[in-house]
Amino acid sequence: MPHVEPIAREDLAHLEEGFALVEAAMGFVPSSLRTMAHVPGLAEGFQGLAGVVLANPMIDGELKHMVSHVASRAAGCRYCQAHTGATAVNQGADPAKIAAIWEFETSALFTDAERAALRLAFHSGANAATADDFTACRAHFNEPEIVSIVAVCALFGYLNRWNDTMATALEDEPAAFAETTLAPLGWHADKHA
């Protein structure tokens, strides 16, 4: 049960345009946005930042979604793990890669560039990124691309803290994905059920 109940969507008509964009991308409107709406301007501000971070073309969408998933796993947010995994697959990421993401260091499914970015994401999610992580990324990415990777990690750092602290209830779509794909890897809904 969430610590703070989200505001009903029908009571947030002023946010409907942004909600429609999120729904088109994700298939639903996350409860977290409706909880943020308790503070005037917070949901809009977050959507603005998320739009810039997630819509920029500096790194491809599949990598962006894998980075958000790994950073969320490192931070321990089960809500965001379910969201990022489901969104990655819904946005065209290879489901086999998402299922094998914790073998990214050794799996033939991942390129050296992906390994470097995912290692940075994992260490970033645990606030443990090092100069070596950036050196490895520089072999594959330019400075703006590295900043874009870290921006994804930071955006999900906010969401990880928000959703874990609020015990945000997991929506049906990401919950179904997590039960079939992530649960065999040890995921459970925990307080987000």
Interval 126-171: pLDDT, tens: 999 999 999 999 999 999 999 999 999 999 999 999 999 999 999 9
CA dist 22 and 8 (Å) reads 16
**CATH code: domain of residue 101:** 1.20.1290.10
Interval 80-114: pLDDT, tens: 999 999 988 888 888 889 889 999 999 999 999 99
**What pLDDT score was predicted for residue 128?**
96
In a domain, 17, yes or no: no
Range of the domain at 108: 59-188
In a domain, 25, yes or no: no
112-116 LR contacts (CB < 8 Å, sep 24+): 112/139, 112/140, 113/139, 113/140, 113/141, 114/63, 114/66, 116/140, 116/141
In a domain, 174, yes or no: yes
- What contacts 131, CB < 8 A, 6 or more positions away? none
In a domain, 142, yes or no: yes
**What pLDDT score was predicted for residue 10?**
96
The tokens describing 98, both together, are 């998402």
**What pLDDT score was predicted for residue 94?**
87
In a domain, 168, yes or no: yes
Mean pLDDT on 114-133: 96
In a domain, 179, yes or no: yes
| DSSP code of residue 104 | T
Interval 20-75: pLDDT, tens: 999 988 888 999 999 999 999 999 999 999 999 999 999 998 999 999 999 999 99
In a domain, 9, yes or no: no
The total of structural domains in the chain comes to 1
In a domain, 132, yes or no: yes
CA dist 43 and 35 (Å) reads 8
